[in-house]
Structure 1
Amino acid sequence: MAVSIPLLINQLWDVYRRINPQADQIVKLLTERGEGIQNDHIAFRTFQDPRIGIDRLAEPFVEGGYQFGGEYHFEEKKLYAKHFQHPDPTLPKIFISELLLDEFSASFQEIIKRMLDQLPPDGNFHGPLCSEGRVWETSFADYEQLKKDSEYAAWMAAHGFCANHFTVYVNALSTVASLQELNDLLVANGFALNEEGGAIKGSPEVFLEQSSTVASVVDVPFTDGHHKVPGCYYEFARRYPLADGTMFEGFVAKSADKIFESTDEKLQR
C-alpha cells in the first residue's frame, strides 16, 4: 500500500528539524511576517548500492505518484543524482544523490562495507528507507577517515537516511521580492549562509537561483563517544520561467555542487 506523501513529508520534517534547529527559527521568522512556507524540494543522500541506492530511496515517492524528472553528474564529488516530481505542483520535488563508491580507495570502501554489512539481511526496513535514520553503528575515527576523502560520506556515516535539507520555494513568498532580499533578512537575523561560490548560486540565465544556510552543528553518538558534527541545513530556491513560459523544474549541477558543501566542516564557525 502506497504511503501518504503528505504524512511522510511531515514525518521527515519532524526528524529534520531536530538535526537542524535553525529550521524552526527560520520558519518562525517568516511566518511572523505573514508568510506561508511552500517546499521547493527535499534532498536525500545515499551510497551507490542496490540495497539503499537512489531507486530504493525513491520507492515511496514513486508509489505515491512521483515521476523521474532529470539526472545529474558531479564528477569532482563523485556523485550521481536524480530528481523526481509530482503532477501536483504544490508537492515538493525529491532530489536524491548517491556516492559512487567504486571511485574511492579500497580502504575507504572497507569502512563503508563495515557499515553496509549491518543492513538487514532480508533487505526489509521498518518503514520507508528515506525515514530510517542511521541503520549502522560507526566510530568517530572512521567518520574522520571518511571525511578526508568525502565530507558527503562522513555525513552519511553520522546521520544515515533522513532529509539532508528542505528548501523554501522563494517564488511563493510575498514579503520578499528576491532571493537577495531573503538572504539579507536571514543574515540580519543572525543566520550564517554558505558563501562557497557566492551566497547565491545560479542566476536568472540558468533559470534557478539557490542559497543555503551553513549546517547546524549537532551532537551525534558514535561507538567511541559523542561528538559534535555538521547536521542539516536549510535551502532557498527561486525559479524562473523558460522561453515557453513554463517554470524551470530541474536543477543546475554547477550550483548544486556548491550547495552540497553546506555540510562541510570548513564552513563551521
Structure 2
Amino acid sequence: MTLESLFASLWQDYTVRLCPSADKVHRLLKEGDELINDHIALRTFNLSPVGIETLAKPFLDLGYQVCGDYVFEAKKLVAIHLQHANEKMPKVFISELRIELCSAKLQEIVEKLVAQVDKQALNKGEFLYRGRPWQISHEDYLTLAKESEYAAWLAAHGYGANHFTVSVNQLNHFTDVVDVNNKLRDSGFVINESGGEVKGSPDVLLEQSSTMADKVMVDFSDRRAEIPGGFYEFAKRYPLANGGLYQGFVAASADKIFESTN
C-alpha cells in the first residue's frame, strides 16, 4: 500500500458512506488544480487492540511521524497528530475516547463491541476505511448517544475519515474562512456555529470552520436508521516567525469542531 492509495481509499469511503455532500463542496471550491487536503481525522476507543497506536501504525509505516498531542478533558478524549516530511501529504489527527472516565454502562457496551474485532484484520491498513468491525443495536447506539456523541458516532460507523479538510490557504477566490462559510451557506450547507462559526484566530495561527455532518442511513443489528455521518472542514494556517505555516492544532478549536457530528 502506498500513501496515495491509502488516502484515495479513505476519500472513497468518506464520500460514499460518511459524507456524500463532499463532492458538492469540492465542485464549489475547486478552482482548476486539485484541492489540497490539510488533514483528515480518525476516531477510536482507548482499548486494545484498537487504540491510537493501532490507527497510527499504517501511517507511521509509510513515513509519518507523531508531531503533537492534545487533551480534551470535557469530552474525555486524547489525541495526536501525524505529519509527513512531504508537506503536500495531509496531516492525520487521531483521537481516542478514554472509556475508563465514562459510565459503567458505556464501558460495558464499548467492551462488547471491541471484543468482536478480528485482530488479524488490524494488521492491514485496509481496516481504516472498511467501516464497522462489530455489530451494534440501535438501542445501544442511543444509550451511547445520551452520554457521548463521540462514542455513539464511532460505534455506529466504525473506522473511516470523520472529516477531510480543505486548505483555505490554496484558494484564490477566498482569502478568509468566513468567505468560504458564506459560499457554502448560499449553496444550502449548514455551518457548525458552536463556539462561533470560525474557531481560532490569527493570534493562535489557525482558523477553522466546518459544515454540520451529513445525515446518512446506517444498518444496525435490529433496524436501519438515519444518523449524523461525516462533515467537511476548512482550515487557514498563518505563518510562523520563520515564514513557514503553523502545522499544529489548537485544542480549544478542535473541541468545537468535534461538535459538527452532534
Residue 165 (structure 2) pairs with residue 167 (structure 1)? yes
Instruction: Say whether the 8 Å CA contact 2:50–2:114 is kept in structure 1.
Output: no
| CA distance in 1: counterparts of 2:90 and 2:53, whole angstroms | 18
Q: Which residue of 2 aligns with 1:191?
A: 189
> Where does the alignment leave 5 or more consecutive residues of structure 1 unmatched?
265-269
| CA distance in 2: counterparts of 1:173 and 1:110, whole angstroms | 46
Q: Supply the AA of the counterpart residue of 1:52.
A: V
- TM-score norm. by structure 2 comes to 0.96
Q: Supply the AA of the counterpart residue of 1:247.
A: L
Identity %: 49
Residue 261 (structure 2) pairs with residue 252 (structure 1)? no
Residues 124 and 84 of structure 1, relative CA distance in 2, 3 Å threshold: closer
Q: Which residue of 2 aligns with 1:89?
A: 87
Shift of 1:183: 1.1
> Where does the alignment leave 5 or more consecutive residues of structure 2 unmatched?
none
Instruction: Say whether the 8 Å CA contact 2:58–2:125 is kept in structure 1.
Output: no
Secondary structure at the residue paired with 1:141?
Answer: helix
Q: Which residue of 2 aligns with 1:267?
A: none
| Aligned equivalent of 1:62, options 60, 63, 74 | 60
Residues 123 and 190 of structure 1, relative CA distance in 2, 3 Å threshold: closer
| Aligned equivalent of 1:111, options 109, 112, 115 | 109
Shift of 1:247: 1.2
| Aligned equivalent of 1:130, options 115, 128, 131 | 128
Instruction: Say whether the 8 Å CA contact 1:35–1:175 is kept in structure 2.
Output: no
Q: Which residue of 2 aligns with 1:25?
A: 24
Report which stretch shifted further, 179-188 or 164-173.
Answer: 179-188
Q: Which residue of 2 aligns with 1:48?
A: 46
| CA distance in 1: counterparts of 2:218 and 2:106, whole angstroms | 21
Deviations 1:120-149 (A, max 9, x none): 155645643322310000001000000111
Q: Which residue of 1 aligns with 2:34?
A: 36
Residues 131 and 54 of structure 1, relative CA distance in 2, 3 Å threshold: same
Secondary structure at the residue paired with 1:27?
Answer: helix
| CA distance in 1: counterparts of 2:95 and 2:44, whole angstroms | 6
Q: Which residue of 2 aligns with 1:101?
A: 99
Residues 22 and 124 of structure 1, relative CA distance in 2, 3 Å threshold: closer
Secondary structure at the residue paired with 2:44?
Answer: strand
Deviations 1:204-253 (A, max 9, x none): 00000000000000000001100000000000000001223221100000
Q: Supply the AA of the counterpart residue of 1:44.
A: L
Residue 226 (structure 2) pairs with residue 261 (structure 1)? no
Shift of 1:50: 2.8
| CA distance in 2: counterparts of 1:114 and 1:155, whole angstroms | 16
| CA distance in 1: counterparts of 2:259 and 2:2, whole angstroms | 31
| CA distance in 2: counterparts of 1:136 and 1:62, whole angstroms | 25
